[in-house]
Amino acid sequence: MYPLKIKTTPNIIFIILIVLLILPGRVQPEADRIISLSPNVTEILHSLGLDGKIVGVTEHCHIPILKHTKTSIGTFFNPDTEQIVLLKPDLVIALPSNKMVIEKLRPLLPETQFVVVQNETIADVLNSVTTIGEATNTTTTAHRLSERLKQKIAYYRKLTSKRRKLPRVLCVVSHSPGSLQQIYAAGKNTFINELLEIVGAQNVIHSRIPRYPIISRESIIALNPDIIIDTAVADNPTSRSLAITKNVWNTLPQVNAVKNQRVYVIKERYFTIPAPESIIRSLKLLHSLINTGGKQGA
């Protein structure tokens, strides 16, 4: 018996092509119950218009509309796995540092999709937006969000592109309350370093590993930055606590930033969140402080 031969006509080929064109692509299952294990993920979800689908966020998420209406699943460093399981999420979005938590959750939530995104650099942020957009079927909105960030970055680069002398900046992300002990600074391989470069500044910390090295008072004196940006403030800081934070730097009067009153205590929490809208706001703030000497109240 010979194989059956089908005579293919131009009309049949045309019909097949039309069918292939109208068939829907691979669609991600709808995620109706989303848990975020990181503040930057929460902000991206919020920017994608997914507030109504978020069922749990960390205590460190600083979007008021979500923080007060969504269930807390603990801290970023120690999420409450029992609470996460009780919320019955169909999508959990986390960072690589949440690896152990995810491994614990997988057997408890076999039907749940787990997505892990990076957040160390601006490229990571853009990739995270794309990944989360695909996981939540919001790719069009995700594309617009990414383009908005790229445009703002290009805008600030252009503003400072002709600068010849770059101000030298130290960005402190943590230190002991009320003292200059256990000082951690943003190094080269961080999104904060990229923010400084975009607004026409030079990071005085050249270390790439670790990303946030610990530095001493003596190191700060030797580095002698022109500007110091201190983000090491507690949640909901008071005027008194901000004043105390700023005053500790007066113990280094020989440093140019202190001498010229260019120590800025940043109380805005968005400055340390690697997500599009926070980065855009941070660029505006940094440009004001570094390039126009804008006053930032403490």
Cite the residue boundaries of each domain of the chain with CATH code 3.40.50.1980.
34-119, 163-291
The predicted structure's pLDDT at residue 14: 45
What is the residue-level pLDDT of the chain in tens, covering all 298 positions?
Answer: 444 444 545 454 444 444 344 444 445 567 899 999 999 999 999 999 999 999 999 988 877 666 556 888 988 888 999 999 999 999 999 999 999 999 999 999 999 999 999 999 999 999 999 999 999 999 999 999 999 999 999 999 999 887 778 899 999 999 998 899 999 999 999 999 999 999 999 999 998 889 999 999 999 999 999 999 999 876 667 788 788 888 999 999 999 999 999 999 988 888 999 999 999 999 999 999 987 665 443 3
Three-state secondary structure call for residue 234: coil
Q: Which two tokens stand for residue 236?
A: 């909901």
Cα separation, 208 vs 211, whole angstroms: 5
Contact present, 198 and 233 (Cβ < 8 Å): no
H-type helices in the chain, by residue range?
10-22, 39-47, 64-67, 81-86, 99-105, 122-135, 139-160, 191-198, 217-223, 239-247, 256-259, 276-291
The enclosing H or E element of 34 equals strand 34-36
Beta carbons within 8 Å of 262's beta carbon, 6+ residues apart: 226, 227, 228, 256, 293
Q: Which of 176, 201, 196, 178 is nearest to 186 (CA)?
A: 196
| H-state helical runs in 68-175 | 81-86, 99-105, 122-135, 139-160
Rounded to whole angstroms, the Cα distance separating 104 from 176 reads 33
131 closest CA partner among 212, 229, 37, 48: 48
Tell me the C-alpha distance between 39 and 275, whole Å: 9
User: Three-class SS of residue 90?
Assistant: coil
Give the integer Cα–Cα distance in Å for 122 and 216. 28
pLDDT computed for residue 69 by the predictor: 67
Burial bucket for residue 167 (CB in 10 Å: 0-12, 13-18, 19+):
buried
User: What letter represents residue 121's amino acid?
Assistant: T
Which residue has tokens 């003596």?
A: 218
The pLDDT value given to residue 2:
40
| CATH code of the domain made up of 163-291 | 3.40.50.1980
231-284 pLDDT per residue, tens:
987 666 778 878 888 899 999 999 999 999 999 998 888 899 999 999 999 999
Note the maximum CA span of the chain.
Answer: 97
Closest CA to 39 of 123, 130, 102, 117: 117
The pLDDT of residue 111: 95
Q: pTM of this prediction?
A: 0.84
Spatial separation of the C-alpha atoms in residues 123 and 33, rounded to whole Å: 27
The architecture CATH gives domain 34-119: 3-Layer(aba) Sandwich (3.40)
> What separation, in Å, do the N-terminal and C-terminal C-alpha atoms of the chain show?
90
